[in-house]
Amino acid sequence: MVSKTIKKWVFWTHLIAGLIAGIFVLCMSFTGVLLTYERQIVEFSERLHDVEPAKLSTHAGEKAVRHEDEHIGEYTETQAHSAVSARISTARARISTDEVVTILQALKPNEPHIYVRWVNREGAAIPAWAGRHSFLLHPYTGEILREGEGMVEKFFHVVTDFHRYLSLAGDYRVVGKNITAYANLVFLFLIVSGLYLWLPKRLNLRALKQQFLLPKTYQNSHHRNRQWHIVFGIWCLIPLFVIALTATIFHFDWANKAIYGAFGESVPTRKQHEEITSLAADVVPYETLFNAAQQHANANGYADWYSMWMEIGEDIHEARFFIDKSIGHRQELAYSLFFDTQTGKVTKVLRKQDWSRGGQAWGTARFLHTGEYFGVVGQTVAGLVSLLACVLVYTGIVLAWRRLVSEPKRLRENAGANS
């Protein structure tokens, strides 16, 4: 009797909570599907800008000069023209890291915080950032192939903003973030309560088979929706629980405190450092540091690196290289290498195992949320269960409508007909 009462309360709480948060869960799930292969799709779009060295010519170099002049303006015209013209005679050689930095500094002289990403593929275009300003550069002439984000990147930014903030902006962004945060908590409750409601009265093979497998035929649409909700729900339960649970670290301080506290640590505070306004103090050529980073990678089992990011202007006298074997930033397949830009010496090597245990757990949780922790297989699973979560929301709403609206209406009509 007590168990029936408890199950009844859980059922109605599950139903009402699902109706309240369902539309937001649907939004997060559907956008999660769209974001499944974001990194691979963005990477493919950038590959469309790859260049074949054999097709380069002096004309390409001259075109680069004209293109640079158009983007930079009069105040840096001479500087940019000299930087690009110097490369025309050697257009078939990859431009150096220093040349990339020179171009970025000419374009955005007040943005010393710079990223340069080298892809380990001949003819690959060079993504680079000066502050928040992004560019895609020709690997042999330095021509600006694209300024700002491409259509693919813009699409994924729109989807991500909707996924995180319901596309609300300005002062309302925090409202959107709170809605998705608490909707995610409700989703966690729906997953756990759904498991409780799923448990058959008798745990035997026949009962489990009915709960785990879809029937060959359906009696009607209600039977189909109910079976979809039950069967898809149990098959998706574990990955959806992981996705929803790990999402809490992006929204709540208590979640971060819990993950670090489990290892006896406190949440690390953001490091304060002196604001850098110029890169003039960097003595060692960046190309020299890039070559040293390649040598370090070759000597440490990373000769097959896929991409190498250089970051400068974050900390004074420091250049950080992020050497990654994967497209998806899988932390087990990447490490950071730090150089002193005045001496060229390695100051720190940071792999995931060098982080604190709490930091490692947070990093794991971060990439479990997207499935990227397990590579493309994990991404596929995350995308698939997100799609099925959309089905769960749909069937849940349809079933709730039948119970709350359609069925009571039918009973009233029957009662009226019989009276």
pLDDT at 55: 52
Are residues 352 and 297 both part of a single domain?
Answer: yes
Are residues 225 and 283 both part of a single domain?
Answer: no
Are residues 216 and 229 both part of a single domain?
Answer: yes
- Does residue 68 register a pLDDT over 80? no
pLDDT at 201: 80
Contact assessment for residue 332 and residue 352, using Cβ atoms and an 8 Å cutoff: yes
pLDDT at 66: 47
Q: What's the start-to-end Cα distance of the chain, in Å?
A: 34
- Does residue 87 register a pLDDT over 80? no
Are residues 167 and 28 both part of a single domain?
Answer: yes
Answer whether residue 12 is part of any domain: yes
Tokens matching residue 347: 């100051």
Are residues 326 and 251 both part of a single domain?
Answer: no
273-330 pLDDT, tens per residue? 778 888 988 999 999 999 999 999 999 999 999 999 999 999 999 999 999 999 877 8
Answer whether residue 407 is part of any domain: yes
- Does residue 59 register a pLDDT over 50? no
User: Which pTM was predicted?
Assistant: 0.85
SS3 144: strand
Please give the order of strands across the beta sheet that includes 318-324.
144-147, 133-137, 126-130, 114-119, 307-312, 318-324, 334-340, 346-351
Distances in whole angstroms, Cα of residue 47 to Cα of each of 15, 42, 147, 241, 327: 47, 9, 16, 35, 13
Around 199, how many Cα atoms within 13 Å sit in the side-chain half-sphere?
A: 12
Are residues 277 and 345 both part of a single domain?
Answer: yes
Are residues 259 and 406 both part of a single domain?
Answer: yes
Are residues 246 and 393 both part of a single domain?
Answer: yes
The whole domain housing 296 covers: 269-373
SS3 215: coil
Answer whether residue 222 is part of any domain: yes
- Does residue 71 register a pLDDT over 50? no
Answer whether residue 153 is part of any domain: no
Are residues 279 and 322 both part of a single domain?
Answer: yes
197-213 pLDDT, tens per residue? 998 887 778 878 888 89
Kindly report which listed range (235-249, 263-277, 304-318) carries the lowest average pLDDT score: 263-277
pLDDT at 383: 97
**Residue 338 bridge partners (DSSP):** 320, 348
pLDDT at 210: 80
Identify the band that residue 237 occupies on the pLDDT scale cut at 50, 70 and 90.
very high
Answer whether residue 338 is part of any domain: yes
Identify the band that residue 355 occupies on the pLDDT scale cut at 50, 70 and 90.
very high
Kindly report which listed range (74-83, 303-312, 328-337, 398-407) carries the lowest average pLDDT score: 74-83
- Does residue 403 register a pLDDT over 50? yes
Tokens matching residue 317: 């006298």
Are residues 335 and 308 both part of a single domain?
Answer: yes
Are residues 365 and 288 both part of a single domain?
Answer: yes
pLDDT at 73: 43
- Does residue 419 register a pLDDT over 80? no
pLDDT at 211: 84
pLDDT at 409: 85
Question: Total domain count for the chain?
Answer: 2
Around 16, how many Cα atoms within 13 Å sit in the side-chain half-sphere?
A: 6
Share of the chain above pLDDT 90, in %: 77
Please give the residue that has the higher pLDDT: either 5 or 274: 5
Contact assessment for residue 15 and residue 400, using Cβ atoms and an 8 Å cutoff: yes
Are residues 306 and 390 both part of a single domain?
Answer: no
Answer whether residue 74 is part of any domain: no
147-162 pLDDT, tens per residue? 999 999 999 999 999 9
Answer whether residue 33 is part of any domain: yes
Answer whether residue 65 is part of any domain: no
